[in-house]
Amino acid sequence: MRSNFKKALSKAASITIVVIIIIAIAAGAGWWWATTQQEAIPTTTSFSSTTTAATKPKISVIKIGLIEPLTGAHAVFGIEAKEAAELAINVINNELGGIKSLGGAKLQLVVQDAGSTPDNARLAAEKLITQSHPNIVIGAYISRLTAAVAEVTNRSHTILFMDGLVDDLTQHGWKYVFRVAPKASAHGKSAVDFILDMAKKKGLKVKTAVVLNEDSVFGTYTGNGAVLELIKNGVKVLDHITYPYDITDVSSIIARIKADNPDVIISVPYFHDAILIAKAIKSEGLHPMFIAAAGGCGYTDPDSIKAAGDAVLYYTQTYSFNPYRHTEWAKKLVGMFKQKYGKIPTEAGGIILYTMFTIYEGLEKAGQMYPSDPLNPDNLRKVFLSLDLTDSNSIAAQLYPTGHIKFLPNGDNEYAGTAILQVQKINGTLTPVLVWPEPQPGIQPIFPRPDWKPSSSS
């Protein structure tokens, strides 16, 4: 009996072992088949779309920081810049529907006062970055203030669109900076090129010149640009006068110019010094062939005309902005600015207008190129470097003097250029009008100055 039981038990155990082995083999085969099939499944379009949709951020607000001198000696520029930014953002948000590639995200302007010193500008940038966390910053018009801001924004990997013009602002190796406007030295060169072009057309010879500039980095670069262009064209530079940007007495400068008796004067001012110089030149009875200014502010903007009156009649000034471009968007936005603020946008406001619309067009492209991370600063940098904006495809380009915006690796615009305005009397009113490179309809440059008294050597 026990023998039969043992045999039965042994047989059952054998069957059990066989079953276990079969199950194990089957399980292993199933695992192998599932694994190979899983590896063979391709990544389909629908799978990719589902992943992108799951990770695509919902963006309702994009913060744009603006750091400008809203108080102090240069507040006239900062205030106009702020006005232009507010106007542009209103158009982008309400007329253009925000950033459509980002679901209609709206731009929000966050403003800080740069004050009048680099330390103040640096503190303003640090406060803006730490408290408001803007995606992009614009600033700070005065080049020494802009440099202080750039140190902060670059350290925090925040894109900065500079409206300061000093050449070397894009030569520090800062990775996250861009500048649509032309460099300072280009302004000095343009002022000279205009004079020489006009003299040639009138059959006149410019033999001598005096260059004067305030002694900031901006004034130095612009003045040097003028000196180099004069020398290049065989014009003798009798004097290159520098003075403190906050000068209050220009009598010694006027005495030097009077003693030099140059054919032309090229001036690189800001605002209050320009008013002093223009009034002093008039009161001292200086009558050169021409007086041209470089650097975008000082003699021909509406605030200067209001402050100096007839003293700035016939002065010209180079601008980074052409308020008389005959394009749809230039006419529209200049008209809106004039209606809202009672004057045309000049250098400070004009730079901000085309800068803001460059940012707008870059953000639209960021939503297309990097839908899952459009505001990443490295992605934004790649987007802005990929832009090629012209009158035919861009609002920003329609606002720009050359009609073309494309960034070089250092952040400068490859197609940067200037325009020149002149103060003329139009229907009895002192008015800044476009005279170069192409005059606006119905306008011709007045050259030489009607009160010119040629010297015996002229």
pLDDT tens-digit readout, 343-395: 989 889 999 999 999 999 999 999 999 999 999 999 999 999 999 999 999 99
For residues 243-256, average pLDDT = 94
Extended strands (E) in 216-351: 236-243, 264-268, 290-293, 316-319
Peptide bond into 450 cis (omega under 30): no
Q: Does some domain include residue 376? A: yes
Q: Does some domain include residue 341? A: yes
CA angle 66, 70, 73 (to 5 degrees): 135
For residues 236-262, average pLDDT = 96
Q: Does some domain include residue 367? A: yes
**pLDDT range class, residue 458, cuts 50, 70, 90:** low
Do 198 and 78 belong together in one domain?
A: no
Residue 48 has pLDDT above 60, yes or no: no
Do 334 and 192 belong together in one domain?
A: no
For residues 307-320, average pLDDT = 96
CA nearest 349: which of 337, 340, 331, 360? 337
Q: Say what angle helices 217-232 and 143-155 make with each other, to 10 degrees.
A: 120
CATH number of the domain residue 241 falls in: 3.40.50.2300
Q: Does some domain include residue 133? A: yes
Q: Does some domain include residue 193? A: yes
Do the Cβ atoms of 118 and 144 come closer than 8 Å? yes
Q: Does some domain include residue 24? A: no
For residues 164-189, average pLDDT = 94
Q: Are strands 106-113 and 61-68 parallel, antiparallel or unpaired?
A: parallel
In whole angstroms, give the CA distance from residue 195 to residue 188: 11
Extended strands (E) in 48-145: 61-68, 106-113, 136-139
For residues 273-290, average pLDDT = 96
Q: Does some domain include residue 452? A: no
In whole angstroms, give the CA distance from residue 181 to residue 158: 19
Do 331 and 394 belong together in one domain?
A: yes
> HSE-up of 204 (CA within 13 Å, CB side)?
20
**Alpha-carbon 180 to chain mean position:** 4
In whole angstroms, give the CA distance from residue 372 to residue 343: 42
Residue 218 is predicted with a pLDDT of 86
**pLDDT range class, residue 111, cuts 50, 70, 90:** very high
Instruction: Report the percent of the chain where pLDDT is more than 90.
Output: 78
Do the Cβ atoms of 365 and 383 come closer than 8 Å? yes
Do 271 and 218 belong together in one domain?
A: yes
**pLDDT range class, residue 296, cuts 50, 70, 90:** low
Residue 289 has pLDDT above 60, yes or no: yes
Do 291 and 341 belong together in one domain?
A: no
- Element of type H or E holding 166: none
Do 200 and 296 belong together in one domain?
A: yes
Residue 57 is predicted with a pLDDT of 78
Do 66 and 173 belong together in one domain?
A: yes
CA nearest 163: which of 187, 142, 134, 135? 142
CA nearest 257: which of 231, 230, 235, 277? 277
Do 241 and 271 belong together in one domain?
A: yes
Residue 369 is predicted with a pLDDT of 97
Residue 55 is predicted with a pLDDT of 63
Among the residues of 41-116, which ranges form H helices?
45-55, 75-90
For residues 138-164, average pLDDT = 96
Average of per-residue pLDDT values in the chain: 88
For residues 403-415, average pLDDT = 97
Residue 457 has pLDDT above 60, yes or no: no
Question: With 0-12 CB in 10 A as exposed, 13-18 as middle and 19+ as buried, what is 109?
Answer: middle
Do 241 and 302 belong together in one domain?
A: yes
By residue range, what is the domain housing residue 339? 61-182+325-405
Q: Does some domain include residue 331? A: yes
Do 88 and 104 belong together in one domain?
A: yes
Do the Cβ atoms of 318 and 187 come closer than 8 Å? yes
Least confident segment among 39-53, 90-104, 178-192, 333-347: 39-53
In whole angstroms, give the CA distance from residue 340 to residue 422: 24
Residue 250 has pLDDT above 50, yes or no: yes
pLDDT tens-digit profile of 160-174?
Answer: 999 999 999 999 999
Residue 51 has pLDDT above 90, yes or no: no
Tally the domains of the chain. Answer: 2
In whole angstroms, give the CA distance from residue 322 to residue 334: 10
Do 432 and 302 belong together in one domain?
A: yes
In whole angstroms, give the CA distance from residue 146 to residue 125: 10
Please count the residues of the chain.
458
In whole angstroms, give the CA distance from residue 107 to residue 66: 12
